[in-house]
Amino acid sequence: MTAMATDDGVRTDRGALAVALAEARAGRAEGGIPIGAALVVDGEVLAVGRNRRVQDASPILHGETDCLANAGRLPASVYARATMVTTLSPCDMCTGAILLYGIPRVVIGENRTFLGGEELLRSRGVEVVVLDDPACVELMRDFVAAEPALWNEDIGED
Ligand SMILES: [Zn+2]
């Protein structure tokens, strides 16, 4: 389980996004896909995660699912107070995980590079906040330009 003390600013969506973005950058530094996530409960970061497709040769550890795994088993009452913060619009798999565990709020760094299941989330009553953060856009734009094949693999395209 990964847990972090509350840092200044984590109580805001942008503060939490900065934590997720640091995960994304750490993933890129490892040669991975730069998508990070943080699970925030009651204003504190309960866990963080990052896409581990390359690092762990994993098809299922995206930023959000790695974050949920790092958070460990939680009661439904905790998920019900949680916000999933992710640097990139969540794919169908991560959208499903958010719905499965009843996480009521999702904060998204950007959806220009990839538009995931935002409509489905909204249709199921999840609050979706898109911050359209320039640093998140730049990180993904640079990555997709540098590693197009790796990016297509991650989103299930040839
Ligand atoms: Zn995903």
Summarised one tens digit per residue, pLDDT across range 49-68 is: 999 999 999 999 999 999 99
Across all residues in the chain, what is the average pLDDT?
A: 94
Going from the Cα of 69 to the center of ligand 1, the distance in angstroms, rounded, reads: 13
Give the range among 31-40, 88-97, 113-122, 147-156 with minimum mean pLDDT.
147-156
The per-residue pLDDT for 1 is 43
Q: Which among 23, 22, 28 has a CA at the least distance from the CA of 143?
A: 28
- Report the C-alpha dihedral over residues 72, 77, 78, 84, rounded to 10 degrees: 100
Element (H or E) spanning 93, and its range?
helix 92-100
| Catalytic member of 30, 44, 64, 118 | 64
Distance 92 CA to ligand 1 centre (A): 6
* Ligand 1 midpoint to CA 154 (Å): 9
Could you tell me the pTM of the whole model?
Answer: 0.92
Taking residues 106-124, what's their average pLDDT? 98
Per-residue pLDDT reduced to its tens digit, 83-94: 999 999 999 999
Cα(105) to centroid of ligand 1, in Å?
A: 16
- 127 among known catalytic residues: no
User: Is the pLDDT confidence value at 7 over 80?
Assistant: no
State how far the Cα of 61 lies from the Cα of 110, in Å rounded to an integer: 19
> Taking the domains of the chain in order of start, what are their residue ranges?
13-155
Say yes or no to pLDDT of 44 above 70.
yes
User: What is 13-155's CATH topology?
Assistant: Cytidine Deaminase; domain 2 (3.40.140)
Q: What's the rounded mean pLDDT across residues 133-146?
A: 97
pLDDT of res. 10: 66
